[in-house]
Structure formats: structure tokens, C-alpha cells
Structure 1
Amino acid sequence: MAWSNARQRRSGQSDDQASMEELARRQGVRPIASVDELSSPGTFESDDELHEFLADLYQSRRPDVA
């Protein structure tokens, strides 16, 4: 806690006030270069499970469509 308070006094900014860019820099986060980076093999055990997920997602985003 003391380290955080000292850092806050030096920078004038707490973690709660840090910008998104600053937080990303601290964590080494970078923008994705391709949508392929978001895919993860084995996320769904089967095509049926994937289709069930997509149907549920579609329904949750369009509750007025039966």
C-alpha cells in the first residue's frame, strides 16, 4: 500500500485514474494484428456446442426475434 501511495504522490495519478493507454502499457498489452489472434483451438468440444453457443448469442442480442 505504501508503494502505491508514494507512486500516486509522484505521478499525481492513481491506478484508478490511469488512462487506458497507460494501463495497457504497464501490462504490455498491444492491439491485435489479426482476428485470427482471437481464436483458440479447443474452445468448443464439438461443432454442435459451437452452433448452440452462436444460437444462444444471437437470441440474447435479438430478444424480440422468436
Structure 2
Amino acid sequence: MNAPAADHSGYPAPRPRLSVEELLAAKNTQPIRSLDDLTADTFESDEELEEFLAFTYAERHRDAA
């Protein structure tokens, strides 16, 4: 009797393919009903937001000159 050949390809075994509906159900997701569902309090103040935006703008344009 021969033993089954071991898979030494270095790749993980493929996962079963799930539909979008199955993936969403597994994560218990809900549809977005309004823009309020997307709000987040990321910055504590308008000043903190302005500092972040200024930093991001400067970093994006740093090497452009």
C-alpha cells in the first residue's frame, strides 16, 4: 500500500469558496442605511484634524519639488 503523497508545495490548502452573502452572514454585517452609519470620532478636535491634513499634504508633496 502506498501512503498518500504529502503536499510540499509551500502553499496552504485552498479554502472552500464562499459567496458574498455567506461571507457577510458569517461576519454578521448589516447594510448601510444612512451616512450616520459611517461616522467616526477619529479626531478629538478640529485643530487635530487640521494638523493631520497639513502633515498629510506636506508628506505627499515632500518629494515633488
TM-score w.r.t. the length of structure 2 is 0.47
* Bigger CA radius of gyration: 2
Which has the larger helix fraction?
Answer: 1
